[in-house]
């Protein structure tokens, strides 16, 4: 595939270009594609690099090649049907990169059973320079999950926060999954009210970590594992073990070093992800 304007600088401080972004996605395609395949995808594009104009895009452009697969669903936020891209191949991934796509945001469900999510997600959003605080909240969330016999994998957001993923058996719709997530979020907030909050408005959070359970909804999304972020250093959302979570920082993982990290270790997200779990006990416990 011919890359247009490959020398355009996307990360000015590092001198990293669109060509570097494309090569990064080419290198990590085997690791990232399993978490994009058959999931409606929202992308965030940065035609002039991370310091320029950027926009989220849900609709697949009309000029997309005919080999790009799509799926159409009603987007409640847009009040209309949207033709989402399905990134099911390296070719599609590189086409997206050539479209100045830095961030990849897949749904939590797949097109064969689109209303049954296969992950429950917590997005722990700290204030700037609050990553260490988010890590401590992550461990409290982990404890609350364990009380319901649920386990989670964890990754950096690539920005300043932490994402927890609970892999699910596809038996419950988004409404039930969201119910569990919000109830658990409130439990965690009650345990550490000085450190965590469920307040949606930033002005009401203070220096606390926002426990965002609202990503568990149709059309909502979380940045994919291995997706770059539009921040200085070119960081990447990266899977880590619970053992290592307190030892790392989001800036440790960038588009320049992640391909080398993955070469000997393979797909870390697959290695760290627990078996799919049932929410039945959690629903009974939380409702009881």
φ/ψ of 71, rounded to 5, equals -145, 135
Gyration radius from the chain CA atoms: 19
Number of neighbouring beta carbons within 10 Å of residue 125: 21
- d(C-alpha 166, C-alpha 277), whole Å: 8
Fold of 119-218+275-281: Alpha-Beta Plaits (3.30.70)
Both tokens of 7, joined, read 């020398």
Smallest CA-to-CA distance from 120 within 192, 27, 182, 34 is with: 182
Long-range CB pairs of 179-184, under 8 A, 24+ apart, other chains included: 179/283, 179/286, 180/120, 180/279, 180/282, 180/283, 180/286, 181/120, 181/121, 181/122, 181/213, 181/216, 182/213, 183/286, 184/122, 184/141, 184/144, 184/145, 184/148, 184/213, 184/286
Mind listing the pLDDT tens digit of every residue in the chain (288 residues)? 789 999 999 999 999 999 999 999 999 999 999 999 999 999 999 999 999 999 999 999 999 999 999 999 988 777 899 999 999 999 999 999 999 999 999 999 999 999 999 999 999 999 999 999 999 999 999 999 999 999 999 999 999 999 999 999 999 999 999 999 999 999 999 999 999 999 999 999 999 999 999 999 999 989 999 999 999 999 999 999 999 999 999 999 999 999 999 987 778 899 999 999 999 988 888 776
Both tokens of 123, joined, read 């997005």
- d(C-alpha 18, C-alpha 146), whole Å: 43
φ/ψ of 125, rounded to 5, equals -110, 110
- Angle 229-87-51 (CA atoms, 0-180°, nearest 5)? 25
Domain extents in the chain: 9-112+219-271, 119-218+275-281
C-alpha to C-alpha distances, 124 to 39, 138, 212, nearest whole angstrom:
23, 7, 6
Please give the sequence-ordered ranges of beta strands (E in DSSP) within the chain, or none if there are none: 9-11, 16-17, 40-45, 55-57, 69-75, 80-86, 101-106, 119-125, 153-156, 162-167, 196-197, 209-212, 239-240
pTM of the model: 0.95
Tell the CATH superfamily of the 9-112+219-271 domain. DNA primase, PRIM domain (3.90.920.10)
Could you tell me if 214 and 220 are in contact, meaning their C-beta atoms sit under 8 angstroms apart?
yes
Both tokens of 270, joined, read 């697959």
């Amino acid at each position: 595939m011919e890359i247009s304007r490959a020398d355009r600088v996307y990360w000015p401080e590092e001198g990293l270009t669109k060509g570097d972004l494309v090569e990064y996605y080419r290198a990590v395609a085997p690791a990232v594609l399993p978490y994009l395949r058959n999931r409606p995808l929202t992308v965030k594009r940065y035609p002039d690099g991370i310091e320029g104009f950027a926009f989220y895009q849900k609709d697949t452009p009309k000029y997309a090649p005919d080999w790009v697969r799509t799926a159409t669903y009603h987007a409640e936020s847009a009040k209309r049907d949207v033709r989402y891209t399905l990134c099911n191949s390296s070719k599609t991934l590189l086409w997206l990169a050539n479209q100045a796509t830095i961030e990849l945001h897949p749904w939590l469900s797949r097109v064969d059973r689109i209303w049954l999510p296969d992950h429950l997600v917590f997005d722990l959003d700290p204030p700037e320079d609050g990553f260490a605080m988010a890590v401590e909240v992550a461990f409290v969330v982990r404890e609350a999950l364990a009380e319901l016999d649920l386990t989670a994998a964890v990754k950096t957001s690539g920005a300043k926060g932490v994402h927890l993923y609970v892999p699910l058996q596809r038996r419950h719709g988004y409404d039930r999954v969201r119910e569990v997530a919000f109830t658990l979020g409130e439990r965690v907030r009650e345990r550490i009210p000085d450190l965590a909050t469920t307040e949606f408005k930033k002005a009401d959070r203070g220096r606390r970590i926002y426990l965002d359970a609202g990503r568990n909804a149709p059309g909502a999304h979380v940045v994919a594992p291995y997706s770059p972020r539009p921040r200085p250093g070119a960081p990447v959302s990266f899977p880590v073990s619970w053992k290592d979570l307190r030892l790392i920082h989001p800036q440790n993982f960038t588009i320049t070093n992640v391909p080398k990290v993955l070469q000997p270790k393979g797909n870390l997200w697959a290695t760290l992800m627990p078996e799919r779990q049932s929410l039945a006990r959690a629903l009974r416990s939380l409702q009881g």
